[in-house]
Structure 1
Amino acid sequence: MEEGKEQHIFLHDEVSYIIKCALDDVLGDKDYQQNKINVWKSRIFEISLHLLMKLNKSSKYLVSLIIMQKNGAGLHSASSCYWNNIKDDKCIVKWENKTIYCIVSVFGLLAI
């Protein structure tokens, strides 16, 4: 691998781990509460972006989050990107507990 090239690699395993840790920390065993969603999502974004920036990669990150009550309803989600397939990438993390479904999408875009 060329010197410095490792800075441009989107590390799926590390990104997925960061997101799962943020979700476990904020949501853990909590029950779904509509009035807590704004606080939870702000905290998840704060933790996730802070830890993503600590990866010290030359990337910009976009984090998207869906929190939904687990009640038997269906959910369909999609995304589409026009980007550099070599330098940019994404990671989708699905998380759930007994009352909450959560889907987090992280897009890593090369900043240089």
Structure 2
Amino acid sequence: MAYFHINKERSFSFEEGEKIVKECIEYVVSGDDYSQAQAQNWTVNIVKRCATQLAQLGKSYKYIVTCTVMPKRDAGLHMASCCYWDNVMDGSFMVKWENRTMFCNVNVFIIAML
């Protein structure tokens, strides 16, 4: 398991975070086909649910969650992020999820509260 931490109480498991995010995506989208009319609601609900679930872990971190939902088509999507932070205490991960009609990418940034 990949972790970063200051001490045992403040450790953060990326695997646990990824599991939470995948469960949030599946809860919100729940097997639906892509719908442009629903995409905005999905993204808002996914980021809110992810942030709430991550905060309920009770760790001393702030969470920033972003979400992109797009239809599966012959188009590319390129994303990048750059952060200036403490590589020992802060981190990030991305979850890529898809079904037969859409892609969903969720980025989570974890920043230690001192």
Q: Aligned-pair distance for 1:55?
A: 0.7
Could you tell me which residue of structure 2 aligns to residue 69 of structure 1? 71
| Residue 13 (str. 1) matches residue 20 (str. 2) | no
Could you tell me which residue of structure 1 aligns to residue 80 of structure 2? 78
Could you tell me which residue of structure 2 aligns to residue 106 of structure 1? 108
Provide TM-score, normalisation by structure 1. 0.91
Q: Aligned-pair distance for 1:6?
A: 2.0
| Identity rate, percent | 37
Question: Deviation per CA, 1:40-99, whole angstroms, max 9, x where unpaired?
Answer: 112112211111011110000000111111012111111111100000011110000001
- Contact in 2 for aligned 1:8/1:87 (Cα 8 Å): no
| Higher RCO structure (Cα 8 Å, ≥6 apart) | 1
Provide TM-score, normalisation by structure 2. 0.90
Comparing 73-82 with 38-47, greater Cα deviation is found at 38-47
Gaps in structure 2 of 5+ consecutive residues? 1-5
Gaps in structure 1 of 5+ consecutive residues? none
Alpha-carbon separation, structure 1, partners of 2:38 and 2:25: 14
